[in-house]
């Protein structure tokens, strides 16, 4: 069957269309992406501005048409932190459903972490042993650990690259004092969770998902996707630590010239790098591997698990 998953994130609205059936690997058939940056469309009270809601509806209608054009039998629509934490979330969801008919499922941070973990587990398989999975989104950082398909522990922290950039890094390039303040803030937040994970023992394999980690791995010298599939991409802490001060000294335009860094994400890359550096350091991770699958694939896999076998 052909399935679509419609992801309303803090940065983008992304429709992923796959051909899939139970017991088989989902095969990507189409991708439709629009940069919306919902996290930046909030008013002083934390509500999504009416213009932002209008833009969201317009973007969803285009994605809905794309899903129809590509022959999707079913579409799984969901929203993450930007909608979840908006002061007017209920109003936004009601208006979206009234205008488009799309009933957005708002995932909790715990659900995000668990679904992303499921995707990583299926990608790497049982032989990977105990997994520690890290994901930096636009609005939040998810961390999950376990040996099965459902993690033993999963947390979500308000440390997304977009959120932190908008709230704590106003300059371009940012003021060094702002960078230091953000670094302290990030590490204090992460440090509160470390003890909850360490009691489960060290992981056998550390995995990262998300555009932020992919871009950081790329500028640190990892293979491009075009160099072969599935090209293994690793990110070492030493390389990342060398890049953080370089990124802090650059403007967003300068970061956009780096290999693998898109113009739309360049402004958020420093905040993402500080989060990545902090979580790798505090969790004692020397190297991690970037996983091609993440939350969207986790949603698809969960849906397939509930379908009857052919």
Place of tokens 């799984």: 76
User: CA–CA separation, 189 vs 212, rounded Å?
Assistant: 19
Helix H or strand E encompassing 57? helix 50-69
Work out the burial of residue 214: count CB atoms within 10 Å of its CB; fewer than 13 is exposed, 13-18 middle, 19 or more buried. Answer: buried
User: CA–CA separation, 89 vs 53, rounded Å?
Assistant: 10
pLDDT for the residue numbered 211: 92
Place of tokens 């054009």: 69
Which DSSP symbol is given to 42?
A: B
pLDDT for the residue numbered 310: 53
pLDDT for the residue numbered 225: 58
Closest by CA to 108, choosing from 154, 165, 45, is 154
**CA–centroid distance for 153 within its chain:** 18
Residue 236, CA distances (Å) to 71, 97, 116, 240, 270 in order:
41, 44, 21, 6, 17
- Which domains, ranges and CATH numbers included, belong to the chain? 2-106 (3.30.420.40), 109-295 (3.30.420.150)
Which DSSP symbol is given to 250?
A: S
- The angle that helices 211-219 and 237-249 make with each other, rounded to 10 degrees, is 90
The DSSP secondary structure of 129-161, one letter per residue, reads: -SEEEEEE-SS-EEEEEESSSS-SEEEEES--H
pLDDT for the residue numbered 43: 85
Q: Under 8 Å CB-to-CB from 190, ≥6 apart: which residues?
A: 141, 157, 159, 275, 278, 279, 282, 283
Decide: helix, strand or coil at residue 12. Answer: strand
Give the tens place of pLDDT for each residue, 236-259: 999 999 999 999 999 999 999 999
The DSSP secondary structure of 204-234, one letter per residue, reads: SEEEEESHHHHHHHHHTTPPPGGG-TT---E
In this prediction the pTM is 0.94
**Ranges of the chain with pLDDT below 70:** 222-232, 308-310
pLDDT for the residue numbered 49: 93
pLDDT for the residue numbered 228: 46
pLDDT for the residue numbered 24: 85
């Amino acid at each position: 069957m052909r399935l679509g998953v419609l992801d309303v994130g803090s940065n983008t609205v992304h429709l992923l269309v796959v051909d899939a059936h139970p017991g088989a690997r989902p095969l990507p058939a189409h991708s439709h992406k629009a940069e919306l940056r919902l996290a930046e469309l909030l008013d002083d009270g934390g509500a999504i501005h009416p213009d932002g809601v209008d833009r969201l509806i317009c973007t969803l209608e285009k994605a809905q048409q794309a899903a129809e054009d590509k022959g999707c039998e079913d579409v799984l629509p969901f929203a993450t932190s930007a909608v979840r934490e908006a002061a007017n979330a209920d109003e936004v969801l009601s208006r979206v459903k009234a205008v488009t008919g799309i009933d957005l499922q708002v995932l909790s941070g715990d659900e995000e972490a668990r679904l992303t973990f499921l995707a990583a587990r299926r990608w790497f398989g049982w032989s990977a042993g105990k997994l520690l999975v890290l994901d930096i989104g636009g609005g939040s950082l998810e961390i999950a650990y376990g040996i099965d398909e459902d993690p033993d522990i999963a947390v979500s922290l308000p440390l997304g690259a977009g959120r932190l950039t908008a709230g704590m890094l106003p300059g371009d390039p940012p003021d060094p004092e702002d960078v230091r303040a953000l670094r302290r803030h990030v590490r204090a937040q992460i440090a509160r969770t470390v003890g909850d994970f360490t009691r489960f023992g060290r992981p056998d394999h550390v995995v990262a998902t998300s555009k932020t980690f992919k871009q950081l791995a790329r500028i640190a010298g990892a293979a491009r996707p075009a160099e072969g599939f599935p090209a293994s991409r690793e990110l070492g802490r030493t390389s990342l630590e060398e890049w953080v001060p370089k990124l802090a000294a650059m403007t967003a335009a300068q970061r956009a010239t780096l290999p693998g860094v898109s113009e739309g994400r360049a402004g958020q890359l420093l905040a993402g790098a500080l989060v990545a550096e902090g979580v790798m350091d505090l969790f004692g991770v020397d190297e991690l591997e970037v996983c091609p699958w993440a939350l969207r694939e986790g949603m698809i896999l969960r849906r397939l698990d509930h379908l009857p076998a052919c």
